[in-house]
């Protein structure tokens, strides 16, 4: 909603590196004497599909003269290229060939150069050669989430009907191999906490100042949207819930507000008390003070912050009120229905028939809430299909409950069927992956995504520069990362993998 600007804290560097696999040549040779009797190879992740031999490389046979995968004349030279193997290693190789199974290819020599036709493959296949993708995840799991959007913890009767409908829908999804979940964060939601400074959460910036529920809801939406199919279920009647104070106000807007408040010293004083300059932000802004000085009771806090909200409403123009003033349900709607055409097509709105309040005799705060409610309702009517708007009376009777349950079941069943059919048809297209099994691509993408998460949430390592010098040197030695459980190996590898292709653009990384 434009009420939060980025912190000025230094952005974390992003690093990463490749991993020394235990199935590489040197490990195989060193452990050959120990595991010769029990040399059992694990099955690959997915059975390879038959592909056309368009590149001219042909199918590699299982004979001993083709085990190495390429001719020595094709091995690239140079300081970082492959080197000719010593006679002793060649003798060991010839002895181990007779002991290996025909289904376990040997990899004791460097691989061939990647053909040009493979280098020009589309972006979605670059993970096959160890190139991390920067795009967001597009493939979804077989998981559907009914996300509840609500202004408060009301609509208990309607939510009970949703739980009844969920039972049959869950069985339907399971029969087709899908999971079905309900995500509802609006449970036992206390009213008035947003203006009680004693109950404010002292944590991340976006969760301070009474915004912890809004921050949790937006984080849940982002988490579920990443790998699941989301169906927004909106419960909205005649209220938007508790208003929230803006966490941040841009400098020019706050200075203009102070100039407008010069006519009333009390308004200027309350603005300067609760908003302090944060010159470390980009751009600089005034941030809501998360603590009261001096300490005050809950009643005093609610009274003073309500006066602060009224001051902002009286001073701000309509455009600034739309930018800075918000509620939890408005943020949920803006981050689902109004930002995504796909989610707007799936969204189901349960609207209770509540008479609109009269505009006469309302305070400035009440009039502002009525205006915003009218705006959000008009936006929803323009975005949603009429069949996805279920209108119910304020006090729903028993017979009407059954009718409501039938309508809700029909709408959700249709959306679930559409999602499952779309997922199945998407994964039935064979040519878009050049014959590569989609399960392999999905696992590579998941590993890459997990690496990015680890990289973004951890500080930089002091050894990163030493590792870069080691990998880019002419020695060509392998990098082995080892350590006890919990030492940080996964995070270290994740950080290095993000920088590996900056240091060595032609390198190929396989990480699992």
Q: Got the DSSP string for 24-52?
A: SHHHHHHTHHHHSTT--PPPPSSPPPP--
User: Could you tell me if 281 and 388 lie in one domain?
Assistant: no
What domain range includes position 497?
458-503
**Are 151 and 231 in the same domain?**
yes
Model pLDDT, residue 489 = 85
State the pairing for strand pair 143-150/248-250.
unpaired
Residues 333 and 423 in one domain: yes
Domain boundary among 294, 324, 354: 324
Number of domains in the chain: 3
Say if residue 335 is in the same domain as residue 365: yes
pLDDT at 179 over 90: yes
CATH code of the domain in which 233 resides = 3.40.50
Whether the per-residue pLDDT at 6 is higher than 60: the answer is no
Per-residue pLDDT reduced to its tens digit, 267-277: 999 999 999 99
Are 190 and 242 a contacting pair, CB within 8 Å? Answer: no
In a domain, 83, yes or no: no
Query: What letter would DSSP give residue 275?
Result: E
Q: How far apart are alpha carbons 158 and 163 in whole angstroms? A: 9
With a cut of 70, say whether residue 373 has pLDDT above it. yes
Task: Give yes or no: residues 253 and 402 share one domain.
Answer: no
d(CA 198, CA 168): 44
pLDDT of 219 strictly over 50: yes
- 265 lies in some domain: yes
Whether 421 is in a domain gets the answer yes
Which pLDDT band holds residue 136 (cuts at 50, 70, 90)? low
Q: Does residue 208 sit in the same domain as residue 151?
A: yes
Q: Is residue 353 included in any domain, yes or no?
A: yes
How far apart CA 416 and CA 407 sit, in angstroms, is 14
pLDDT in tens, 415-463: 999 999 999 888 776 556 777 777 787 788 778 878 887 877 777 667 7
pLDDT at residue 75 in the model: 42
My answer on whether 202 and 339 are in the same domain is: yes
The answer to whether residue 120 is domain-embedded is no
By the 8 A CB rule, do 249 and 275 touch? Answer: yes
Q: Is the pLDDT of residue 207 over 60?
A: yes
Q: Which residue has the tokens 């056309």?
A: 52
Whether residues 331 and 476 fall in one domain: no
Least confident stretch, 78-82, 260-264, 480-484: 78-82
How far is C-alpha 375 from the geometric centre of its chain's CA atoms? 29
- Tell me the C-alpha distance between 442 and 334, whole Å: 30
Residue 56 within any structural domain of the chain: no
Same domain, yes or no: 303 and 351: no
Q: How many CB atoms lie within 10 A of CB 422?
A: 12
Residue 30 lies in a domain: no
Task: Taking residues 7-20, report their average pLDDT.
Answer: 42
Q: What is the DSSP string of 436-479?
A: --HHHHHHHHHHHHHHHHHHHTSPPPTTHHHHHHHHHSTT-PPP
Residue 4 lies inside a defined structural domain of this protein? no
Are 173 and 302 in the same domain? no
Average pLDDT, the chain: 77
Clarify whether residues 271 and 403 are in a common domain: no
């Amino acid at each position: 909603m434009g009420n939060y600007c980025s912190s000025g804290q230094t952005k974390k560097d992003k690093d990463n590196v490749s991993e020394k696999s235990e199935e590489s040549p040197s490990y195989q040779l060193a452990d050959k004497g120990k595991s010769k009797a029990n040399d059992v190879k694990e099955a690959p992740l997915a059975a390879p599909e038959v592909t056309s031999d368009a590149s001219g490389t042909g199918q590699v046979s299982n004979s001993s003269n083709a085990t190495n995968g390429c001719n020595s004349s094709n091995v690239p030279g140079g300081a970082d290229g492959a080197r000719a193997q010593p006679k002793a290693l060649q003798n060991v190789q010839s002895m181990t060939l007779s002991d290996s199974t025909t289904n376990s290819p040997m990899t004791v020599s460097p691989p061939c150069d990647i053909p040009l036709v493979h280098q020009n493959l589309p972006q979605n296949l670059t993970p096959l050669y160890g190139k991390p993708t920067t795009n967001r995840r597009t493939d979804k799991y077989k998981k559907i989430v009914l996300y509840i959007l609500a202004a408060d913890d009301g609509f208990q009767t309607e939510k009970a009907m949703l739980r009844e409908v969920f039972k049959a829908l869950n069985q339907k999804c399971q029969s087709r191999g899908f999971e079905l979940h309900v995500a509802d964060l609006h449970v036992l939601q206390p009213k008035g906490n947003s203006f009680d400074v004693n109950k404010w959460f002292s944590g991340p910036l976006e969760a301070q100042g009474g915004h912890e529920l809004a921050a949790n809801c937006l984080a849940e939406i982002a988490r579920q949207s990443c790998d699941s199919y989301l169906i927004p279920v909106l419960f909205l009647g005649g209220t938007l819930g508790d208003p929230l104070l803006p966490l941040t106000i841009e400098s020019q807007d706050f200075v203009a507000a102070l100039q407008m408040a010069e006519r009333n010293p009390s308004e200027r004083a309350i603005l300067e008390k609760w908003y302090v300059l944060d010159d470390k932000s980009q751009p600089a802004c005034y941030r809501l003070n998360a603590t009261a000085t001096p300490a005050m009771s809950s009643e005093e806090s609610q009274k003073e912050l309500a006066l602060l909200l009224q001051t902002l409403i009286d001073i701000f123009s309509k455009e600034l009120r739309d930018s800075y003033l918000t509620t939890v349900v408005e943020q949920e709607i803006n981050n689902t229905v109004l930002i995504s055409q796909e989610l707007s097509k799936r969204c189901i709105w349960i609207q209770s028939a509540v008479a609109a309040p009269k505009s006469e005799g309302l305070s400035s705060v009440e009039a502002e809430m009525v205006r915003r409610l009218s705006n959000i309702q008009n936006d929803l009517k323009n975005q949603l299909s009429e069949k996805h708007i279920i209108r119910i009376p304020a006090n729903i009777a028993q017979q009407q409950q059954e009718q409501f349950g039938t309508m809700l079941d029909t709408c959700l069943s249709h959306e679930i069927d559409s999602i499952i059919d779309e997922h199945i048809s998407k994964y039935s297209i064979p040519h878009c992956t050049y014959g590569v099994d989609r399960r392999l691509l999905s696992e590579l993408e998941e590993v890459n995504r997990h690496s990015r998460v680890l990289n973004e949430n951890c500080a930089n390592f002091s050894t990163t520069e030493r590792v870069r010098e080691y990998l880019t040197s002419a020695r060509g030695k392998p990098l082995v990362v080892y350590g006890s459980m919990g030492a940080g190996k996964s995070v270290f590898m994740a950080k290095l993998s993000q920088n590996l292709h900056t240091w060595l653009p032609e390198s190929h990384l396989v990480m699992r």
